[in-house]
Amino acid sequence: MTRMKPVDVVIVGFGWTGAILGMELAEEGVNVLALERGSYQDTSPDWIYPNIADELAYGIRGKLFQPLSRETVTIRHALSETAVPYRQYGSFLFGNNVGGAGTHWNGQHYRPSPEDMAFESHIRQRYGAKFMPSDMQIQDYGVSYDELEPFLDQFEYLCGTSGQAGNLNGTIQDGGNPFEGVRKRAYPNPPVATTYGAQLFADAAKSLGHHPFPQPASNASRPYTNPYGVRLGPCNLCGYCERFGCYMYSKASPQTTILPVLMRRSNFELRTNSHVIKVNLDSTGKKATGVTYIDAQGREVEQPADLVIVAAFQMHNVRLMLLSGIGTPYDPNTGKGVIGKNYAYQMMSSMSLFFDQDTHINPFIGAGAGGSQIVDEFNSDHFDHGPYGFVGGAYILGGQTGGRPIQQLAVPPGTPGWGSAWKRAARDSYRHTLSMQTHGSVMAYRDRYLDLDPTYKDAYGQPLLRITFDWHDNEYKMSRYVTDRMLEIAGALNPKPKQQSVTIRQSGDHYDIRQYQTTHTTGGVIMGKDPQTSALNRFQQSWDVPNVFVTGASAFPQNLGYNPTGLIGGLTYWAAKAIRETYLKNPGPMVQS
């Protein structure tokens, strides 16, 4: 095996969190090496116009996705079942290459609500411990919203997020989200122009007494230079965000916010086509010595490092921890062990509303986040859950992310799936369809977790990660409640739609991996206050091996109703500061267990 020259810090995976930590730690002067299993990619030449405006290549075949042919996951609904491979993309989408899923996200950029960060404590205090079902095992993050606020802000200013503040230093702002936590300063950019469909939604919501606001968007609404000196261009609502790279340099990604500066630093190195298979430990098992990866030619390479940062996608982080033997694997029968624990997802419902020929929604005028409107009254714990018997919630969105016809064309209910009637309905509906959706939280449960599959292997012969997941009653109730609120908004629309269709997961429906839902999978290497119940301390540092940090949504103890990227970025900057100011001066556990 080839042994490389030691480095101070090795980062596994080069998406959002890898790029942030690469930048922050390189600024500290240490030698940083990032290992990315994919190849290099950048706005030019990879996502240039008009080549990027190709729904088939990117949106359907998934040119920016991790090839499942080499590595996937397996899935089962219950402990008693045998898992089968996720052979084709459906429910969620992995990223690939430099930037990872941070290149093909939508830019929907939220902060958590303050109560989300200490959710178990909050629910117990407000409703009593018995309000939670006995198999629900939600937890606190161990870091508060107020502690995290400067870092959530830092990530927004990195991304050039466009939005309207709702709570500036404790003063509620007109047109913003009145439920948001205190923010110390406004968003760096004003909201992206609201699309027509979103405006109809917002008007209807207002007539019911709700407080709609522009969705916070990391699609820059104007030219913007971020604190690293990198410049983003204004979004033109081209309709090619999710599943695509941004040819306008508008959507925040590592490429549009960090890499132009980081790639020039002499103490930073990126090695692509480097697939990490293991974090190496010394004989005590308490200290990491580096990582082993497979290089572009297929050789095993040992990379010694003093500090290892596991910064891949949520599921890949969990798998690497299990493959490396760091921390105790979670056992769903005893509830003991921490790695793989508290896997969670999100639950969506959606509506299509079909207007007459005079109402031009023009769905192709869209951005991943910009232009949509949000109602947050029924998310997190913004309302009294007492009468309803569930915890968590969802925001309600009205608007459009694009009108790409293979994936985003809807026809009215009752239309056949093919033939002349389908074709006529497609023609008559396409330009006149408004979309709404609810985007909801999923709690953590004792029998929902991740471990290594006993049968299926990746292209290198390593076991695949196995998901054991299905919906619980709490989430069916949550989705029904918030979807009913969405239906009320639909009923208040002016003009009135001719027809509408609703997709909702009903009690008893199994998790269906064929339908895209969200890529917001969470948990498995969760952070918390107690090493008995969490894998990481409040700084995302491994309790068991203190020179290993794990970043990303794998740290979430349960899933919130918001898109995760804003919280992921905030937690990463929070960890970066702790590493820079505390860990590097005195390596070792930053929280005593």
Please provide residue 438's backbone torsions phi and psi, each rounded to the nearest 5 degrees. Answer: -110, 145
Taking CA atoms, 2 is separated from 147, 296, 361, 362, 547, in Å, by 43, 13, 59, 57, 23
- Shortest reach from residue 417's CB to other proteins, in Å: 7
Site for other proteins in 386-405 (CB under 8 A): 403-405
Is 462 in contact with 277 (CB distance < 8 Å)?
Answer: yes
Stretch that binds other proteins, among 51-59, 167-175, 308-316, 529-537 (CB under 8 A): 51-59
Residue 199 and residue 494 in contact, taking contact as beta carbons nearer than 8 Å:
no
d(CA 21, CA 580): 10
Nearest in space to 108 (alpha carbons), one of 574, 556, 561: 561
Q: Which stretch binds other proteins (CB under 8 A): 182-190, 195-203, 341-349, 537-545?
A: 195-203
CB of 213 to other proteins, least distance (A): 17
Q: Closest separation between CB of residue 266 and other proteins, Å? A: 17
Other CB atoms within 10 Å distance of the CB of residue 577: 15
Contacts of 301 (CB under 8 A, 6+ apart): 1, 2, 3, 4, 274, 292, 293, 294, 295
Quickly count: other Cβ atoms within 10 Å of residue 512's Cβ: 11
CB of 274 vs other proteins, minimal distance in Å: 22
| Closer residue to other proteins, CB minimum distance, 170 or 229 | 229
Closer residue to other proteins, CB minimum distance, 29 or 90: 90
Nearer to other proteins, 407 or 593 (CB): 407
Closer residue to other proteins in complex, CB, 157/228: 228
422-451: contacts with other proteins (CB under 8 A): 422-424, 426-427, 430-431
- Contact range with other proteins by CB under 8 A, out of 57-65, 134-142, 287-295, 561-569: 57-65
Whether residue 328 contacts residue 314, with contact meaning beta carbons closer than 8 Å, is answered with no
Binding to other proteins in span 238-257, by CB under 8 A: 238-240, 247-250, 256
* Spatial CA neighbour of 72 closest among 288, 431, 313: 313
51 touches other proteins (CB under 8 A): yes
Q: Which two tokens stand for residue 405?
A: 């016809």
- Print the binding letters for residues 317-356 with other proteins: x by CB under 8 A, - otherwise: ----------------------------------------
Q: Which of residues 515-544 bind other proteins (CB under 8 A)?
A: none
272, 40 in Cβ contact below 8 A? yes
Of the two residues 196 and 383, which places its CB atom closer to other proteins in the complex? 196
Helices (H), 131-195: 145-159
Closest CB 267 distance from other proteins, rounded Å: 20
Catalytic center residues: 520
Nearest residue (CB) to other proteins, 387 versus 418: 418
Please, which residue, 173 or 236, has the CB nearer to other proteins? 236
Query: Residue 199 CB, nearest distance to other proteins (Å)?
Result: 6
- Return the residue matching tokens 């498995």: 524
Q: Which of 236, 328, 462, 501 binds other proteins (CB under 8 A)?
A: 236
Give the Cα separation of 75 and 84 in Å (integer): 5
Site string for other proteins, 362-381 (x = CB under 8 A): x-xx-----x----------
Q: Which stretch binds other proteins (CB under 8 A): 15-23, 76-84, 293-301, 377-385?
A: 76-84
Peptide bond preceding 45: is omega within 30 degrees of 0, i.e. cis? yes
